[in-house]
Chain A
């Protein structure tokens, strides 16, 4: 028997004695639902959407979702700007680049980023097809697209295939995300559904849910931004 077979044999042996279902202990006030719906387990038919109704809400209408995303961004210290047009997004981007004195930016090829980097008109490192890490580290900003944005949490999702790789969105000190209004969804459940639609037949090797700039509270539980990843996160949406 190899190690895998040995461990699996031990697991199967252990599981011959059933364990009680959760919720069968305790007598306190925080009992949750008394009646547990009988779930059908092991992949088939388990009601995965059941928990959705109990989570923090993401808003039902697009307007509500936008309001929630905006509020969550403010709390997370994400610089979220919802603008009227792509041209206005480019103008905002130029404004940020000027005020921060960007000399060199990094990005990847896509319709949104190509238009934006062209409008920006600064030397640009494109990560598609490989790059030297030191060169990427020397860039002041990483400009990417995203797959989906989540109203419930103020998050956005980047991946390793269509958002310029694993490092572009995390190595430069400023991460700028270009997004369309219709990429914003209500909650994480909807976000996973959208990801399935986008990549379900061929997943990228990395999918990252990004929620605010990099942060730490490791010193006296005091919030500091930019622990290892970006100190700033800007979302330009139109």
Chain B
């Protein structure tokens, strides 16, 4: 078992017994469900909208070279520098170089999961730069020195009291139970940062090939400010973010907001097509777009799971996943958690180390049903399981499944097994609760149904 798998099991064991966590997450996500259902019902046809989005992303991903080339030439024509980075370390070094060249001290950042993916903050802090997360949720988890709990709701695992304590400790603010007051404390603390910062770093939700623009979705206005005031702007995004046309946003913005947060569209959806242009009064004088591969091309090379690159990071699959709702975001130990994280992490970080996430699923399919771009998520989990076995089978398991096949395929043996189970049942019951219980993974929390005195097949034979 990999270290990651061991850590997952331990963390899951602890957190699933934490009823406070369970209650907090269930309550938050029920609120989300109500809002999402209301906004879904405002669509004339949600199901067809999803299908259309899936087709559009299929087009984008299956012509990725064409669209990326188009995007790059269009955006560079307006004075933007595009950096293509095959790996995380290369992207990190590129960004460090840009910041050093800008002679920056303070960097303000708006939410970017790709930055989490390449561990950008740690690298920049090691270089001695001050890095401030500006999204409220990200700011909170940054102060707590922990990774985001959820790709859309980074601090959903915390109560207002915990946040108040945190602000009191880190910012010296007076304790309060009012979310509004807590938000204003962060607003005041971050205002100065936007004005002081020399460099702003953002992520992006979409890259529009046709016009050479990136689109950033947010609610707070922090990305708007990050892209307005600092002298240098850096945008980091994965190569899969491409959409062919600007008008595609007319579909994708409502789809993302509805599935992700239960909103018609989010507060700010902003297209950036270059640094400050002649005749404009503000905005960065330099803009760098960093395109990240980081093994996305390996996922692209798997036609069976290529549609996982359609993901628009809305978080809908996390929100509906009963596993996520019980183990929470941190248990996964990955940048991308929940069903989509379980699907793509083995491709991005190695199948053998991360296959346990594909096994830790009841394959209920709620994720696939919720996905606004119709990624076949739960079937990809099955494929990951098959691929992991195909790559390095466990001979003990293989032998066990062969024995199982032999037993169920041989009626006499199968019946004999039932007889044995019937005979040892009283003994098994006596062992229940002891370390010798052969089925203790089941019986530690659940009763086991007894073997019936007469099986169906015996009844059927006797009846005729």
Residue ranges of A at the interface with B (Cβ–Cβ < 8 Å): 2-4, 6-8, 10-15, 17-23, 25-26, 28, 30-33, 36, 39, 41-43, 46, 48-57, 72, 108, 127-131, 133-134, 137, 152-155, 160-161, 164-167, 170-171, 187-189, 191-193, 195-196, 203-222, 224, 226-230
Contacts and interface: CB of A to CB of B under 8 A. Distances in A.
B23 interface: no
Q: Report the interface size class on chain B.
A: 35 or more
Interface stretch (B4-12, B38-46, B384-392): B38-46
Contacts of A14: 297-298, 300-301
Contacts, number: 336
Given A205-B275, A219-B182, A19 B307 contact: yes
B169 to A, nearest CB: 16
Contact of B62 (A8, A19, A206): A19
Interface-central residue, B135, B221, B273, B293, by most chain A CB under 10 Å: B221
A149 to B, nearest CB: 13
B160 interface: yes
Given A224-B179, A228-B222, A171 B140 contact: no
B157 to A, nearest CB: 10
B447 interface: no
Nearest to B300: A14
B68 A205 contact: no
A24 to B, nearest CB: 9
Interface in B261-297: 261, 264-277, 279-283, 291, 293, 297
Contacts of B224: 166-167, 170, 208, 228-229
A158 to B, nearest CB: 9
B182 A153 contact: no
B49 A11 contact: no
13 contacts: A7-B291, A17-B301, A26-B368, A28-B369, A43-B244, A50-B52, A137-B191, A206-B270, A211-B264, A211-B268, A216-B136, A218-B153, A219-B136
Nearest to B58: A22
Give the top 5 A-B pairs by smallest Cβ distance, nearest first: A229-B221, A22-B54, A227-B220, A166-B228, A188-B250
A202 B50 CA distance: 32
B277 A170 contact: no
A15 B303 CA distance: 8
B320 interface: no
A228 B265 contact: no
Contacts of B310: 22
Given A39-B59, A137-B195, A153-B254, A7 B86 contact: yes
Nearest to B39: A56
A226 B191 CA distance: 12
A11 B68 contact: yes
A116 to B, nearest CB: 19
A215 B42 CA distance: 21
Contacts of B228: 165-167, 170-171, 206
A191 B254 CA distance: 14
Nearest to B305: A19
Contacts of A43: 210, 244-245
A128 B282 CA distance: 9
Contacts of B280: 160-161, 165-166, 204-205
Nearest to A20: B303
A110 B281 CA distance: 14
A16 B336 CA distance: 28
Contacts of A20: 303
A185 to B, nearest CB: 11
Nearest to B273: A203
B281 A130 contact: yes
Contact of B254 (A55, A207, A213): A55
B247 interface: yes
B90 interface: yes
Contact of A209 (B44, B134, B210, B265): B265
B229 interface: yes
Interface in B291-344: 291, 293, 297-298, 300-301, 303-304, 306-307, 310
Given A7-B297, A14-B297, A131 B281 contact: yes
B119 interface: no
Contacts of A28: 365, 369
Contacts of B50: 32
B51 A33 contact: yes
A192 B247 contact: yes
B51 A22 contact: yes
Contacts of A208: 224, 268-271
Contacts of A128: 281
A205 B272 contact: yes
A169 B227 CA distance: 13
Contacts of B365: 28
